[in-house]
């Protein structure tokens, strides 16, 4: 984290900025917001010293109001005080804040313009902005890695069956996706604050800034920002993208001031740049056919998949291992209405459908191409797609532009699990796993892809794919849980470094496997493991290269978005009649400091108690209440990370459910 560099480099920036402050002490001063990178490394959770002292600052009425509102815990990261070492750093430079805002992690101070510029380079400062501007960018302290809750953005996941992959921890991580569009301005978009952007480039103005400039239309970067949110968004209950944790390259080529043929050249340059910068998947939501007056027009004969500069660039990129996707366009439904670059013979052109009826999106552009090929090849949601706009509001956007990033995200997921396979293998598997309802027919090529079926199809023919593992502390072992993608039942083993014999993995359901690593195998704090899956003589590993992943002796590590299955430790006499085996605690595992959990599958209780698993020691009785819909909501005390047992007694029946705190 950036605060780690503060002490190390403190000397030089104190000297440099101190000189500037001295020189400009008499310059005209105005008020600025100084926003910090974080709130420092000190722990802030129930039971920690800082949490306790902060809690004491609140009036009892405020705490009671928060409690009435269901706030648990009563304080969160936004309530954490500003980092004292950062405030001290400003004080040593003679900067005296006139106001402090914990919720926005910033202070207000009077600065002259040059000092404001220099303060931006402090290692603990994220941004400096004048108070005369709005600067409505959100403050994000961390990424919430709990299982995806798409909320109103569920339709694309339902249609493409991608939620099962997210639940398995497959989020596109490790894959690099290039988006080519009219620009990207994401500062005010809460769904993209987590996004990993490796590089960006404006091919119109030849610089790295892909936002708009004063000479451009106000919405120059609006379309690309919508597309980006659909691919990469990560905000629970609001918008979950298809590949939220992929790495992204952002290329700006579409000039909204006019439609000129030079944009074909800019697009071609962007394809080269994307391939050079390590793109695995490339997606564009642009299309060209007609141009402004005075520009050479296209003939439909030019759309033969290989004649245009754009098609040539895409075809070469695919030959070099980049899977390329583009929107089919919105000039349909008449035939021969596609444009560049949807005609390219190696590109996956994406049409649109609605949800839940899966009818074709009426305006989808159609082939055939000049050389007789069907276009588009596949379809995704194009009507009323939930996206986030530049001002932070959520809207419903329509068009094949919104469908293309969904398919690109699906391919990023496949690339994460099968990083060694070429585009034509992924493309063919996607076509084989697509379905075309009667309403679609051949209008939309192979139809609507099924992400899970695609992953399993690849696994059957090219070796079982392996998802990222979770390591979860259990009673007397570390559980290693991971997805294996295959239509058959392969042999799956966990290899431990230094151990001659592998540990056999067991199938937990139709997707997840589990290996128990007993304490006897973990002689140090951490051992290293590799997962091996074999089918028909084809072997795959996780990690896919020659590295190993760590298995800690204690504690749990769960990949972002992964949804672990319920664990039932024991169900005692006749308990299944009243409290079925599906009884479990949610969320599982439970984040440390969470004060309320839900007891699923349980409708009644006389007493609920908490025990420490390894020693069997009683920890405390637990209080609970029944929600209006019948759910039991259990209040937890502040406990350390580890494994516990929640014992529910009801009508002479006892059920024991594990509680894993990480």
- CATH number (domain holding residue 522): 2.60.40.2440
Same domain for 322 and 401? yes
Binned at pLDDT 50, 70 and 90, residue 431 comes out as very high
Look at 243-247, 314-318, 328-332, 586-590 and tell me which has the smallest mean pLDDT: 586-590
Per-residue pLDDT, averaged over 455-471, amounts to 95
| Closest C-alpha among 347, 305, 356, 357 to residue 327 | 347
Mean pLDDT of 164-168: 95
Distance CA 522, CA 238 (A): 41
Q: What is the pLDDT of residue 453?
A: 96
- 3-state SS assignment for residue 491: strand
The pLDDT assigned to 645 comes to 80
Same domain, 529 and 599: no
133 is a domain residue: no
State pLDDT tens for residues 276-308: 888 999 999 998 887 777 777 788 988 898 988
pLDDT at 19 over 70: no
pLDDT-derived band at 382, boundaries 50, 70, 90 = very high
Q: How far lies 285's CA from each of 134, 195, 267, 395, 542, in Å?
A: 30, 19, 11, 18, 34
For residue 101, what are the contacts with CB-CB under 8 A and spacing of at least 6?
Answer: 107, 108
Within-domain flag for 621: yes
Measured CA distances, 35 to 122, 189, 226 (Å) = 11, 17, 26
Q: Is pLDDT above 60 for 3? A: no
Give me the chain's average pLDDT, please. Answer: 84
For residue 44, is pLDDT > 80? Answer: yes
- Counted domains in the chain: 3
Q: Is the pLDDT of residue 560 over 60?
A: yes
User: Per-residue b/e over 122-155, b at no fewer than 16 CB within 10 Å?
Assistant: bbbbbbbbeeeeebebebeeeeebebbebeebeb
Does residue 564 lie in a domain region?
A: no
Same domain, 546 and 581: no
Count the residues in the chain.
662
Confidence at residue 569, expressed as pLDDT on a 0 to 100 scale: 37
The answer as to whether 130 is a domain residue is: no
Rg of the chain (C-alpha set): 28
588 with 474, same domain: the answer is no
Cα 262-264-268 angle, rounded to 5 deg:
120
- Which pLDDT belongs to residue 28? 67
Q: Are residues 640 and 603 in the same domain?
A: yes
- Percent of the residues in the chain that have a pLDDT greater than 90, as a whole number: 43
Is residue 86 included in any domain, yes or no? no
In a domain, residue 137? The reply is no
DSSP state for residue 243 in the 8-state scheme: S
In a domain, 526, yes or no: yes
Query: Both 260 and 290 in a single domain?
Result: yes
Cα–Cα distance for residue pair 88/43, rounded to 1 Å: 19
Q: Domain check: are 320 and 365 in the same one? A: yes
Are 193 and 314 within one domain? yes
Spatial CA neighbour of 349 closest among 403, 295, 385, 296: 403
Quick one: 365 and 506 in the same domain? no
411 and 298 in a single domain? The answer is yes
Residue 310 to residue 651: CA distance in whole angstroms: 72
Clarify whether residues 406 and 265 are in a common domain.
yes
Flag whether pLDDT at 618 surpasses 60: yes
CATH number of the domain that 229 lies in? 3.40.50.200
- For 119-157, what is each residue's pLDDT tens digit? 877 888 888 888 776 554 444 446 788 889 999 999 999
- Domain of 650, CATH number, reads 2.60.40
Residues 198 and 282 in one domain: yes
Q: Is residue 276 part of a domain?
A: yes
Mean pLDDT score, 430-440: 89
* Range(s) of the domain holding residue 214: 151-155+169-383+392-415
The answer to whether 123 and 2 have CB atoms below 8 angstroms apart is: yes
Does residue 541 have a pLDDT over 80? yes
Q: What is the pLDDT confidence band of residue 432, given thresholds at 50, 70 and 90? A: very high
């Amino acid at each position: 984290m950036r605060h780690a560099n503060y002490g190390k480099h403190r000397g030089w920036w104190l000297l440099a900025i101190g000189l500037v402050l001295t020189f400009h002490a008499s310059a005209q001063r105005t008020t600025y917001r100084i926003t910090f990178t974080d709130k420092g490394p000190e722990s802030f959770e129930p039971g920690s010293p800082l949490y306790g002292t902060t809690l004491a600052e609140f009036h009892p009425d405020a705490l009671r109001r928060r409690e009435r509102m269901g706030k648990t815990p009563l304080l969160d990261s936004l309530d954490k005080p500003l980092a004292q070492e950062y405030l001290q750093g400003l004080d040593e430079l003679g900067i005296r804040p006139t106001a402090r805002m914990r919720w926005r992690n910033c202070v207000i101070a009077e600065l002259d313009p040059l000092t404001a510029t220099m303060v931006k380079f402090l290692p603990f400062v994220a941004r400096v902005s004048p108070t005369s501007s709005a600067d409505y960018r959100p403050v994000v302290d961390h990424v919430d890695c709990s299982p995806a809750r798409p909320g109103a953005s569920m339709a694309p996941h339902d249609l493409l069956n991608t939620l099962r992959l997210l639940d398995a921890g497959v989020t596109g991580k490790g894959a690099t996706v290039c988006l080519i569009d009219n620009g990207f301005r994401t500062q005010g978009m809460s769904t993209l604050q987590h996004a990993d952007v490796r590089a960006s480039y404006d091919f119109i103005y030849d610089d790295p800034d892909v936002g708009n400039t004063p000479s451009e239309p106000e919405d120059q970067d609006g379309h690309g920002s919508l597309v980006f949110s659909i691919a990469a968004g990560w905000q629970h209950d609001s918008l979950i993208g298809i590949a939220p944790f992929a790495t992204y390259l952002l290329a700006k080529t579409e000039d909204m001031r006019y439609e000129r043929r030079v944009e074909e050249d800019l697009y071609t340059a962007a394809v080269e740049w994307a391939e050079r910068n390590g793109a695995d998947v490339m997606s564009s939501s642009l299309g060209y056919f007609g141009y402004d007056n005075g520009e050479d027009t296209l003939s439909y004969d030019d759309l033969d998949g290989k004649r245009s500069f754009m098609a040539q660039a895409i075809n070469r990129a695919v030959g070099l291992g980049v899977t390329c996707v583009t929107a089919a366009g919105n000039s349909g439904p008449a035939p021969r209405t596609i444009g560049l670059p949807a005609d390219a013979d190696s590109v996956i052109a994406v049409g649109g459908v609605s949800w839940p009826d899966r009818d074709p999106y009426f305006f989808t552009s159609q082939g055939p191409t000049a050389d007789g090929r069907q276009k588009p090849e596949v379809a995704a949601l194009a009507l009323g797609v939930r996206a986030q706009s530049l001002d932070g509001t959520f809207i419903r956007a329509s068009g094949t532009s919104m469908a293309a990033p969904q398919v690109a995200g699906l391919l990023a997921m496949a690339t994460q699990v099968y990083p060694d396979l070429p585009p034509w293998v992924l493309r063919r598997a996607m076509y084989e796993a697509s379905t075309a309802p009667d309403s679609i027919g051949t209008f939309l090529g192979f139809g609507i892809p099924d992400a899970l079926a695609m992953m399993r199809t690849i696994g059957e023919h090219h070796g079982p794919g392996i998802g990222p593992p979770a390591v979860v502390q259990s009673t007397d072992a570390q559980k290693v849980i991971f997805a294996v993608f295959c239509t058959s039942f392969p042999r799956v083993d966990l290899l431990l470094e230094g151990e001659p014999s592998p540990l056999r993995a067991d199938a937990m359901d139709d997707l997840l496997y589990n290996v128990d690593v007993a304490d006897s195998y973990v002689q140090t704090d951490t051992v290293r493991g590799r997962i091996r899956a074999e089918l028909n003589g084809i072997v795959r590993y996780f990690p896919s290269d020659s590295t190993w992943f760590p298995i800690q002796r204690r504690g749990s590590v769960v990949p972002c978005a992964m949804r672990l299955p319920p664990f039932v430790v024991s169900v005692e006499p006749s308990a299944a009649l009243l409290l079925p085996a599906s009884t479990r605690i949610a969320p599982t595992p439970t984040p440390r400091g969470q004060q309320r959990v839900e007891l699923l599958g349980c409708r009644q209780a006389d007493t609920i108690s908490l025990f420490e698993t390894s020693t069997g020691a009683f920890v405390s009785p637990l209080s609970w209440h029944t929600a209006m819909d019948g759910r039991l909501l259990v209040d937890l005390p502040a406990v350390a990370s580890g494994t516990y047992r929640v014992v529910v007694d009801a009508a002479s029946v006892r059920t024991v459910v594990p509680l894993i705190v990480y």
